[in-house]
Amino acid sequence: MDFTESIGFDRRLWADDIAGSKAHVEMLAHVGLMSPSDAAKVSDALDAVHAEMSGGTFEFVESDEDIHTAIERRVTQIAGEPGGRLHTGRSRNDQVATALRLWSRREMTVVAAAALDLVEVLVARADEADAATPPVSIPGYTHLQRAQPVLLSHHLRAHAWSLLRDISRINDALERADVSPLGAGALAGSSLPVDPSFSAERMGFAAPFANSLDAVSDRDHVA
C-alpha cells in the first residue's frame, strides 16, 4: 500500500476531481445511466465533500491510496448505494487525466496572470526611469565584466520581453490542456453509451478527446 499510494501529493487535485465527477454524474443522468434522483444525491454528496475539503474537516483513512479513492469513499458514505455508481462508465485512467488537466488549466491561468502583472510593473518602472532627468543608466555586463552603459529602462524591458515569451508558452500549453479525456475509459473508451462531448462542455473544455489511447496517456501539457 505504501508503495502505490500517491495521496501525499495528489490531494491538491481534490477540487478538480470533484468538478470532473460532478460533470460525469450529469452526463450519466443525461444518457440514462443514472436516474435523476440518484444523480442529485451523488451531486449533493460531492458538494458536501467539497465543503469538508475546503473547510479542513475531511477525514482521510489509511485505505485512501489517492485523492480519487478518498473522495469516492466519502461520497458513498454520504449518498449510500447511489454513490457506488459514481464510477459507472469511467476508468481511473480517464478520471485522473481529467483532474490533472483541470488542475493544470487553472494553475497555468494563475501563473500567466501573475507573469503579466509583473510585466506591467517592469514596464511602469522602465517608464519612470526614462522620465528621470537624466534618464537612469546602469552598467551592462558581459562575461561577468562591465561592458557598456545601458539605460535602466532597457534592462527592465529585457526582462519584460522574456516574461512575455513565457506567457506565450503557457498559453500554448493551455491550448493543449483544453481537451477533455473523460469518456476515454482505461484506453479504448466504454461499452456504455457515455457522451464525452456533454462532459467536456460541462467542464468548460474546448473539445473532447479525438483518440482515447492518446487521451489517457498524454501529459504534454505538464511536460
| The pLDDT of residue 201 is above 70 | yes
Q: What pLDDT does 4 receive?
A: 63
Q: Tell me, what amino acid is at 195?
A: D
Pair 203, 112: CB distance under 8 Å: no
Q: What is the pLDDT of residue 43?
A: 99
Is the pLDDT assigned to residue 107 strictly greater than 90? yes
pLDDT of 68 over the 90 cut: yes
Give backbone dihedrals phi and psi of 78, rounded to 5 degrees, phi first: -80, -45
The answer on pLDDT for 216 being more than 80 is yes
pLDDT in tens, 12-35: 999 999 999 999 999 999 999 999
- pLDDT confidence of residue 6: 86
Please state the pTM of the whole predicted model.
0.91
Residue-range domains of the chain with CATH: 7-88 (1.10.275.10), 91-183+207-223 (1.20.200.10)
pLDDT tens-digit profile of 80-98?
999 999 999 999 999 999 9
207-208/179-180 β-pairing: parallel
Here the cell at position 96 is 485522473
